[in-house]
Every structure is written in C-alpha cells, then in structure tokens.
Structure 1
Amino acid sequence: MGIFAQLIRRRPRTLSTWQAESDDVLPRVAPPPIHQPAQSLSVFEVDAPLDPIPLGIGLDGVVSWDPQGRSGLQVVGGTGSGTSEFNWAMIEQCRTRGWRVLIADGFGPEFVGFRGTANVSYVSDVCIDGEVRFGDYLTTVQLAHSIVTRRREASRHSGRGEGFAPLLLVLGEVAGPMSYWQHGGYTEQYRQVHTMVDDLLCAEPELRCYVLISPASGWEWRLPWSTATRCDTVMLGKPERPYLAHCSDPAATLEAVKAALGTTSWIPRGRGAFLSANHSIPNPVVFQSFLTPNPCSDFSRHPYPPDITTQWEQFRAAVSDKTPALHPQLFPGS
C-alpha cells in the first residue's frame, strides 16, 4: 500500500486523540468558550465590573484577564510563539463584548482583516503609496487619546464617571515605529506617542481605557513607558529575560516562569504564562491560549480535528456573526 493510500485510510483525529498524542497535560489547541455578544451599549451604563476576558485554558480551568484596576496587557514572545493569534483573539473577545477597538498596526498586514468589522473603529495603514510610513500609527494613538480626553472632560463636567464603553487601543509591533522615530530623527513623533500612551496608561479607572501592548515577536526591546508596569503580562513561548525587563525583578520572574512551564524542551505554539501586576512576588499561571476564530485567521491551512473545527464554526455563528456595530468608524481628525 502506498503512502498516499495509508494517509487516506487513516481515521480522522478527534479532540481526544489530538491531546493523547502528547504527554502534555494541557491541550495543544483550545477552542474558545461561547459567550453572549453585546447587543447594546446599555450594558455599560451601570457601574458594574466588566466581564473578564478569557485568555486560555489552564490546569484549574479558564484563565482570564480581569480589566478592573488595570491599565492594560503586555504580550511578549519570540517568533513563532503565537503572539499574533493571541492578539487577534483578544481583539475578537473584546469587540464582540461591545468594546470599542482602535488598532495601530506597526507591521502592515497583521490586523487588516479587522478593518470595517463591528466595533473596530480604526485600523492604521503602515504602507502608503508603496512605502512604509508610520504616520497612520501616530494617527491611531491620537484618535484614542482624543476619545479619552473627551471622556475626562465629560466626567469632570457631570461629576459622574459611569457609562463609558471600554476602549481598547492595540499597539501592534510597537517596537518598529518607536525605534524608527527615536533613532531616525523623528523626535517629535516619538515624544507625542510616548506622552499620549503614558497618559492613556494613567487614565482614571472610570474612563475604561485599556492598552494592549505587543512590542514585536522576537524583539528584545524594552518598553519606554514606566507606567506600563501597571499592565499585566502574558509571555508566550520560550522564556527569555529581555521580555521581562519591565518587571521589578526580571531574574526572579524568569526563574518562576521557567519553573511553571516545566523542563520541556519544546513549548507548543500559544503556550504562555500570565503574570499579574498585582503580585510583588512572581506567580505565573501557565495556560494554552484560546485559538479564536477572527477576521484575520485562516485555520484551513492546518489539519485540525473535525470536533475542533466544529467548535470554531459554532463560535462564529453564535458570537462573531451575531455582534452588532455599536461604535462608528473613525477617520483622521474625527
């Protein structure tokens, strides 16, 4: 029997066989749980805690990020660790919950699939007239900062801070434009972004502004914002000390993450450790990221088991396709 015939006759892999092929306790592929998409902004009019955002599956169940009292989330990891899929999943989870999302894309095609989707108000364009330019990256940050400025003024005028829908500013591949501005003589652009992001990270909790910071896969680049220490951290893939330079004790944090991940020489794509900014002593929580269907993903290139693809189809039908546009599209100067 030829190799091709053997492949044809193989029984399709189910979720259980997919997991059983590895000695790993956690699954290598984790479809996201289904949630009810927000149908109205009225859900944010009451002063109630925001729903935690599910990140993945851990040893004790779902690992989530709680935005209460946080400035945002940093996502670090090497090339091939799954940072892109993680960022896409975060955006999909937030936009379907009624959050307003603005995306600054420092890579180019990384987030283009989200352009025009419900509740994603703006996606920057890094390539203009065939040249790499970062002016639109700056525009995205300016748009987010103007929204928060108006919220701050409205809150001071009314004396109330409730009712704002959560705002998520995604700083994708931020190491690229920041390094370009800093070392290319564009000091004014660097200063503007540095100042505005610093202000967003320090925004009052009632303004509900959050920043998702993704430096760039494989870049050993330290964030220039000291206030980023208020953000929680997700480190994907192989632990490296440069990715933890923003922590109060990078060496101790690195050892804690290594111990939590175990001594395995191979770390599955999407495997990560969550580090809360609330803990002075590192207490990493290991999880397998939810591989969430989104406008940027293309899962057809990989032979995933049928029961996993079925769960993705169910998520799209029940969540993504049922999410209404609650926020308008934005344009420069708006």
Structure 2
Amino acid sequence: MATTTRVASRPPARPPAPATVALGVLPRRQLTGIIPALLCIALATAATGLNAVRPFTDLIPLVWVVAVLLAAGAVASGVRTFQREGRMDPAIEAVLPMLGAAQPTRALVVPVKWTRGWVGLPERIKIRYASHVDDTDPRFVDQILAGLARRLGAEYRVRKHNSRRCVLVVELAPVSDPVSREQQRAIEVVKLVIDPTASVSVKSADDGSVSKIDVKHNVGPKMAIAARRSQVEKVVSSMLPGRWRAHWDLEGDKITFEVRPTMPDMVLHEVEPAAALTHAAYKAFKIPIGPDEDGQIQSWHPAVSPHCLVIGGTGSGKTSFQHTVLTHLAHAHWRVWVLDGKRIEFAGFRDWPNVELVGARVEHQVRMLHAAHELMEERYSQLENGTARLEDFDPLALIIDEYATFKARVQRWYKTVKPKGAPAQAPVLDLLSDLARLARSAKIHILLGLQRPDVEFLGGEMRDNFGARVSFGRLSPQGANMMWDSFAVGVAIPRNKRGRGVTLNAESQPVEIQAFYTPDPAKLDSTDKADWDHLAALRPDAADYERMMVRDPEAELTDDGEGEELEPDYFQWSSAEIVAWDASVPSTTKHDALRPSNVTPLDSRERVRFVPEVDDDAPDVDAAADGDGYGESLEGPAVELEVGDLLLVDATLGLWGVVEGVEPDVVDDEYLAIEYRDLDSGEDGLLTLFDNSVISYRRPEAA
C-alpha cells in the first residue's frame, strides 16, 4: 500500500519592501519667464512704432510701464520657480526609488502649496507611485517622510493616502518645541525598550526635567503580558531620572509614563460635619486611612470589612493611626471602647466625647471584653426573637491596642485570681475569636493593634475576619508574607518615615500610604498651639454616650471566723458592674508600685520568678528577634533568584535589595532583568545580569 507524505504548507511570506534602485539625476532645470518678458517688451516696442507712424493714443508711456512690470514679473516668477525646483529636486531624487519610478521625473512628486517667502518650503506635496509598490508596508510611508525631512530640512506628516489611486498627500507637520537633551534621551529609551517605530511625545516640567511621556506603539501582543509591562516600567525607571509609573491602554496600544509624585511626610486628619448616625449612614461610613502616591484616600469601610488589623512597631505611627480612627468614630457619633494595652497611649482620650469606656488596668480590660461579648450575645438574642432589627442597634467600635501585651498580662494576672475549678486558661482569651467571627452581625467592629505580625491573627479564619489591614514601618519577610502574601511588600518602607505604611486599595491590592496624623493630647504642652487647635476641630461638640467605668468588686471576708479579706476572683472581675464615671471613686485594687510588670506575684513562701514576655516598648525591628529574617548568604546563578530574596546589589558598598521580580530582559533574552527595592532607602531599582552570573543572595527564613 502506497503511503502519502503530506508536506505542511506555510503561509506566504510577506512581500519585501521594494528595492531602491538609483535612477540618476533629474533632467536639467530650465529658467522660465525670459520668453514672456521678451514678448512683453516686443509688444510695447511694436505699439510705440505703430503709434509713431499713425498716432492713435497718448498712453504709450503707460504701455511701457505695464510692459516692464509684466516682464519683470515674468522673470521674477521664472527665477522663483527655478529656485523652488532646485530646492525640491534633491527631495524628489531621494523618494523616487521608493515610488517604483522607471526613470527620473518630477511629475510623480509635485508641490501643490508653498509656505510664504521668496522660495519658502513645500507646505503640501502630492506624490504618485506605481501600482506594484507595496504600500501596506509601514516602512513605505516612513521612508518617504524620512527622505523628505532629510532633504528639505522639515518634518512632514501624511495628510491623505488613497491606496486605490496610488496617491499620497503629505503636509508640513506642526512646528514643535525644541527637543532638549533630556527629552531626546527619554524618546530614545522608550523606543529602545518598547518599539523602535513607536510615536513618542515628551512633556517637561517647569525645571526642564521630563515629567510625562506619551507612547503609541505597534507591539500590542507583547505588552499584553503583565510581566512584560512590569519589566518595561522598571527599565524606564532605571534609565531615566526619578521614579516612573505607567498607565496602559491595551486596547488603544497607548502608554503614558509619568513621574511618581512625592508622598508627603505628614498629613493632618480632617473631619467634615457629621450627620445623624442612621443605619444608611452606618452602611456608607468610611474611616480614612491616608493618601496613596496618587493622592487617592484609602479608607476602612466597616460595613464591608468589619474588622481591621494594624501592625507597627514603636515609632512607626501605629498609635497615631489608632487615634485617628478613634477621633473619626467619635465625631461620627459612634460608641467607642478602648483597651489600652500600654495603659497610657489613650490617656489623653479618656474624657473624649463618645469614648464611653477606656480600660487601662488588666482587670478592667478583661471586664470590657466580657462586656463586648455579652452585648453581642444580647443583640443576637434580640435578632433571633424578633424583638429588634439590626438597624435598631448603635454601632460599637472596640479598639484593642497591643493585644500581645494584654494577653501576656492576662496570663500572669489570671494565676493570682483563678478560683478553684476554673479553666487552666483565662476564658477572656477565647472571646476574641468569637467577637472576630460573629460581632459583625451585631454591629460591633474591632480595630486590633499588634507590634509585629503574629500567626495567631494572620493565619486561617482570623486572617479572613480581619479583611482590612494596615502595616506601618518595615516588615520582616515572614511578616510581609503573612500580611500581604508576598515576601517583598512592605519590607523596604523608607526608614524614619513615621506614618508610612501599606494598606489594601479598593481592588484589594497593597499600596503604599501616608497615614493621617492625629496629635496625642497627653503628649502636648502649652507651646503646641497648632495641635491643640487641630484637636479642638476634631472634638465632637456634644457626647451621645457618657463616660463609663468599671466598678471594682468589693473584697469578701472569709467565713472561718478570722475575718480575713479575700481579693475578688476572676469571675467577680469579669462580671463587675459598669457604671457612670465617678472621679471620686477610688480604686480598691492593691498594686505594688515597685513591682516590674513581668513579675508573677506568688505566695510569700514561694520564690518570685519572672515570666518571659515581649518588651512593651521593643524597637521596630526588621525581622525576627534573633536576626533580620533572612538566612545565611548563598552564592549561585542569577536564575535561582526568587521574589522576596535579599540580593547583594553592590558588593563594594554593601548594598542589598529585596527582589520584587525576575524576568527575561526585554532587549536580550539571555539576560535577566531583576527588579528590586533598596533595603535602606526603599527606592526601586533594576539590575540586568547574564542568567548564569554568580550572585550573592539570602533566602527568607521559614516562619
């Protein structure tokens, strides 16, 4: 049986551009206007002679004047035409080979309009070409325009192109501003990185620096790849001064590059007049976090993301952000409870209108969380029984600062108040999970503050419940991965930028922000007039909720006849009364003023021992307590790099950068373009290396 071999057919190759064949020089120019001038003089001479033989007019002098003027005009017109042809001939000779001409001729390239002036420039040129020329090749028109520009010394553009009739009409392009060296550099870089045939328009700022670049390109399929677009942005930022970003119009094959705006170092928190707190107002209510680099205000929307998690070490701006949230809530007629983990961070807001309860002592903090849980259960019962609707409840904001510190103190305190038969762990520690999971449906919202990411709050269900998140200062790679699912986001926030952090925008993408600043009244003195005035503008005129306090339970006497006082146990504290604030009521709790906060009080017969805990005022570290969050330095080929690695960018200066992207280079596929953010300055950078280049890097340690 015969076998048939099928040969795969290829699509026809694109026809090449027509070969440019030298046609020689144009025919010699002829000076016109001499014969018409001589004819005018001859006619005047004949009229003069005839008038001498047979007089018929007295206007012979006028006849000579007219004849001389016409002769001069004819000569001038001929000279001007001769000079214009001389200006056009080099351009015609330059473009004739592209038009499929068989011989040199001026008939195919005809200037139909000239600019003002004795000779001027061809303002509009009509070009005809042979029908066999491939006018679909973009190089056809580009070469004609380039030839005209080269020989005439001016830029031209297409006015009309009739492919059916093989006619091309070009005209002078509008005169543009002189291109500076910086603008020319920008044009060259963009064409090199994106498309050599792209149309590039550059705008400059007042100081002469390039501020905006508009690009129209012909490589849409390449730019449709997200990694390619990101790499183009990094290359442009590396090769041009400043930090750049791009806006992509993938449908129109257009790109707009612009210099990233400089973020402010401080933005004051402002409030607008608050309307009545209706259920509709509650659903639309947003708490401003701060502006991003575009000036867009990023916000926390409690009705959508019920709870917010805020991370930040000492001096990062975390507490100021919590003050902003507190003042914004109070101004909007919300009911606010504060668990002050450090006992003094909210001291200046204890008498703030609508701040109903501030717990500074661990006993009062425990009672507050129990009260919040009881309120949630009460509201659930009312909803279940049909005696109330969600719109009937007033929203409650529960601000919990330094929860890790609170938890450690509760564990120590519980050992001193734990009654017989009570659980081994303080019941209050189980309430936060319930509140995070269920409080939303009871109009109770939590702002939880921590100094550093903790897997307890950023893993599993708890992470999902805290949909709104903000981090301040630098994160360790492990913390960044827990917060933002990336080892690179937030690890290179500039140092000493209080209030600079990362949050999620409306598209749930991490963006860098500068949080609004709210002064702390407890830290101001009489010289801080501007801050006092600002706080006065934030303070509500009247309180919707009066200040409350936890009444300390009374000590009980033993019934053994000795009358010894028994300190209240855990359950007495967790059910203590919450009453209206009374400054005259003294605290009944006994404190040892000289006892360190991490000492466990025990029986006098037992030796005092210390319980390890994280320092309340630990500095903002970059990573784990025993290191910087990265493993030992490794050496290997550049292809082994991964996002989140720490790369040695400059061995001489000891500069390291956090890798944010590794992609093939847009110019040479044998090279890698490594996008990084400088670990010290936070500035973006791009490093191009051969894929087998040996580099030094460090991997993030396991969480």
Using structure 1 for the length normalisation, give the TM-score.
0.73
Shift of 1:274: 0.5
Mapped to 1, the partners of 2:320 and 2:370 lie a distance apart of 26
Q: Which residues in structure 2 correspond to 1:187-206 (within 5 Å)? A: 188=423, 190-203=425-438, 205-206=440-441
Which amino acid in 2 is paired with 1:49? Answer: K
> Cα distance 1:244–1:184, how it changes in 2: closer, same or farther (>3 A)?
farther
Mapped to 2, the partners of 1:85 and 1:101 lie a distance apart of 16
Shift of 1:145: 1.7
Partner in structure 1 of residue 375 of structure 2: 147
Does the CA-based 8 Å contact 1:164-1:208 persist in structure 2?
yes
Partner in structure 1 of residue 334 of structure 2: 99
Mapped to 2, the partners of 1:25 and 1:278 lie a distance apart of 23
Does residue 138 of the first structure (1) align with residue 363 of the second (2)? Answer: no
Which amino acid in 2 is paired with 1:208? Answer: K
Does the CA-based 8 Å contact 1:239-1:254 persist in structure 2?
no
Does the CA-based 8 Å contact 1:235-1:273 persist in structure 2?
yes
Does residue 32 of the first structure (1) align with residue 269 of the second (2)? Answer: yes
- Match 1:77 to one of 296, 307, 312: 312
Partner in structure 1 of residue 516 of structure 2: 290
- Match 1:54 to one of 288, 292, 297: 288
Shift of 1:205: 3.7
SS in 1 for 2:397: strand
> Cα distance 1:240–1:300, how it changes in 2: closer, same or farther (>3 A)?
farther
Does residue 90 of the first structure (1) align with residue 319 of the second (2)? Answer: no
> Cα distance 1:152–1:264, how it changes in 2: closer, same or farther (>3 A)?
closer
Mapped to 2, the partners of 1:164 and 1:45 lie a distance apart of 9
Which amino acid in 2 is paired with 1:178? Answer: K
SS in 1 for 2:372: helix
Mapped to 1, the partners of 2:448 and 2:292 lie a distance apart of 23
Shift of 1:29: 0.9
Mapped to 1, the partners of 2:303 and 2:368 lie a distance apart of 24
Which amino acid in 1 is paired with 2:510? Answer: P
SS in 1 for 2:289: strand
Does the CA-based 8 Å contact 2:312-2:318 persist in structure 1?
yes
Mapped to 1, the partners of 2:425 and 2:262 lie a distance apart of 44
Partner in structure 1 of residue 181 of structure 2: none
Does the CA-based 8 Å contact 2:490-2:501 persist in structure 1?
no
Partner in structure 2 of residue 121 of structure 1: 356
Which amino acid in 2 is paired with 1:274? Answer: T
Mapped to 2, the partners of 1:108 and 1:301 lie a distance apart of 25
Shift of 1:125: 2.3
TM-superposition CA deviations, 1:4-48 (whole Å, max 9, x none): xxxxxxxxxxxxxxxxxxx9711101012331135x4xx224486
Aligned-CA RMSD value: 3.2
Which amino acid in 2 is paired with 1:137? Answer: Q
Mapped to 2, the partners of 1:165 and 1:125 lie a distance apart of 24
Partner in structure 2 of residue 240 of structure 1: 476
TM-superposition CA deviations, 1:152-195 (whole Å, max 9, x none): 22222226221322211111111112124447774859542232
- Match 1:257 to one of 487, 490, 497: 490
Partner in structure 1 of residue 394 of structure 2: 165
Does residue 320 of the first structure (1) align with residue 539 of the second (2)? Answer: yes
TM-superposition CA deviations, 1:119-146 (whole Å, max 9, x none): 11111122xxxxxxx2222112112222
> Cα distance 1:95–1:137, how it changes in 2: closer, same or farther (>3 A)?
same
> Which protein has the bigger strand share?
2
Mapped to 1, the partners of 2:477 and 2:302 lie a distance apart of 26
Which protein, 1 or 2, shows the higher relative CO under an 8 Å CA cutoff with sep ≥ 6? 1
Q: Which residues in structure 2 correspond to 1:290-309 (within 5 Å)? A: 290-293=516-519, 295-296=521-522, 298=524, 309=530
Q: Which residues in structure 2 correspond to 1:215-230 (within 5 Å)? A: 215=450, 217=451, 219=452, 221-223=454-456, 226-229=460-463, 230=465
Q: Indicate the percent of aligned positions where both proteins have the same amino acid.
A: 23
TM-superposition CA deviations, 1:186-222 (whole Å, max 9, x none): 485954223221121122544221111112x3x5644
> Cα distance 1:47–1:277, how it changes in 2: closer, same or farther (>3 A)?
closer
Unaligned runs of 5+ in 2: 1-259, 551-576, 579-703
> Cα distance 1:220–1:59, how it changes in 2: closer, same or farther (>3 A)?
closer
Does the CA-based 8 Å contact 1:181-1:189 persist in structure 2?
no
SS in 1 for 2:429: helix
Partner in structure 1 of residue 50 of structure 2: none
- Structure 1 window deviating more from structure 2 (219-228 vs 203-212): it is 219-228
Partner in structure 2 of residue 14 of structure 1: none
Which amino acid in 2 is paired with 1:254? Answer: F
Shift of 1:331: 3.3
Which amino acid in 2 is paired with 1:330? Answer: M
> Cα distance 1:233–1:316, how it changes in 2: closer, same or farther (>3 A)?
same
> Cα distance 1:114–1:204, how it changes in 2: closer, same or farther (>3 A)?
closer
Which amino acid in 2 is paired with 1:153? Answer: S
Does the CA-based 8 Å contact 1:194-1:224 persist in structure 2?
no
Which amino acid in 2 is paired with 1:123? Answer: V
Does the CA-based 8 Å contact 1:92-1:294 persist in structure 2?
no
SS in 1 for 2:391: coil
Using structure 2 for the length normalisation, give the TM-score.
0.37
Shift of 1:102: 0.7
> Cα distance 1:48–1:327, how it changes in 2: closer, same or farther (>3 A)?
closer
Does the CA-based 8 Å contact 1:236-1:273 persist in structure 2?
yes
SS in 1 for 2:438: coil
Partner in structure 1 of residue 593 of structure 2: none
Does the CA-based 8 Å contact 1:80-1:269 persist in structure 2?
yes
Mapped to 2, the partners of 1:256 and 1:181 lie a distance apart of 33
Which amino acid in 2 is paired with 1:171? Answer: I
TM-superposition CA deviations, 1:66-112 (whole Å, max 9, x none): 11232311111122111111111111111111111111112121111
Q: Which residues in structure 2 correspond to 1:274-289 (within 5 Å)? A: 274-275=503-504, 279=508, 283-289=509-515
- Structure 1 window deviating more from structure 2 (29-38 vs 228-237): it is 29-38
Does the CA-based 8 Å contact 1:105-1:171 persist in structure 2?
yes
Shift of 1:288: 0.5
